[in-house]
Amino acid sequence: MKILVCAKQVPNTNEVKIDPVKGTLIREGVESILNPDDANALEAALTIKDHIEGTTVTVISMGPPQAKEMLNECLAMGADNAVLLSDRAFGGADTWATSNTIAAALRKIGDYDIIFAGRQAIDGDTAQVGPQIAERLDIPQITYVQDIKIDGRKVVVQRQLEDGYEVIEAQLPVMLTCIKELNNPRYMTVEGIYDAYASEIPVWGLADLPLDETKVGLKASPTKVFRSFTPAPKGKGVVWKGSPKELTGKLWEELKEKHII
C-alpha cells in the first residue's frame, strides 16, 4: 500500500498570537508541535504498515522551514519518507490556497492508495483542508474516522456522529480524516530519531510544483481575516426554577425590561 499523510506543525498553546495587520498567526517564539489529529492520522498509516507488507508511509506538510522538526518526529515514529512544501509564496494561505498547494504535491507523488489527514488543526480549527484536498483530487472522502478496516481495494470505516456513528464503505483511493478516538499515537523510538536526523528532508517550493503563483499563499486566499480576537467573557448565566407558568411569566417580564420585546 502507498499511504500519504498530511500533517501540520501547530503552536502548542490556546493563547495564539495574532498579527494585527494580516490577521494571521504569529508563529515565532511559540513552541510548535505535531497537530494532535495528525498524529492520529500518522498512527493509522503506521498501523496499516505494521499489518500489510510492502506498505510505505510518506508524510507531507506545508509550512515554514522549522516544520522539518515536526517531520523528523513523524519519521522517528516510523514514517518512511517526508516532504516539506515551503516557499515564501505559500505563506499566509487560507484553506483554499493550502489545499491547492498540498493537492499539487500529492498529485506529483501520485499513485496513492489512502491519504490520511487529521480532522482539523488546533490553530485554524476549520477542518476544511482534508475535504478540499479530496475534492481537488477527485477522490472520495470520509471525515471523523474513528475506526478503519481494510478489505482488499476498499475501506470500511466508522464515521463519528454527534450521537453515534455511521459505517461507510469506500473504494481506494480515498481520503480519510482522523479524530483522537481512532487510536493512541505511538512513541518515537530512539533509533528512529537517529535515522531521521541522519537524512535530509526534501523541500519543494513553488518552482517544484505545477502551480500558478497567483493560486497560492495570502494573495490567493479568498478568506480574508478581518479581525481575530479573544471574546470578552459575558459573565455567568442565571438559572431559574419554577413551574412552567411561573417561568414564562418571569421570562416575559425580563424580556420586556431588557427591551427585547
Residues that bind other proteins in the complex, under the rule CB under 8 A: 69, 72-73, 76, 186-191, 193-194, 196-197
Q: Considering beta carbons, is residue 77 or 121 the nearer one to other proteins? A: 77
Cell output for 20: 494585527
Using CA atoms, how far apart are residues 91 and 53, in angstroms rounded to an integer?
38
181: left (phi over 0), alpha (psi -120 to 50) or beta: alpha
CB of 30 to other proteins, least distance (A): 16
CB of 191 to other proteins, least distance (A): 4
Using CA atoms, how far apart are residues 140 and 168, in angstroms rounded to an integer?
11
CB of 58 to other proteins, least distance (A): 20
Q: Considering beta carbons, is residue 194 or 252 the nearer one to other proteins? A: 194
CB of 31 to other proteins, least distance (A): 10
Cell output for 197: 536526523
Using CA atoms, how far apart are residues 27 and 2, in angstroms rounded to an integer?
32
Q: Any bridge partners for residue 169, and if so which?
A: 156
CB of 69 to other proteins, least distance (A): 7
- DSSP string covering 234-253, please? --------S-HHHHHHHHHH
Chain Cα centroid distance, residue 191: 27
Phi, then psi, of 97 in degrees rounded to 5: -70, -35
CB of 43 to other proteins, least distance (A): 14
138: left (phi over 0), alpha (psi -120 to 50) or beta: left
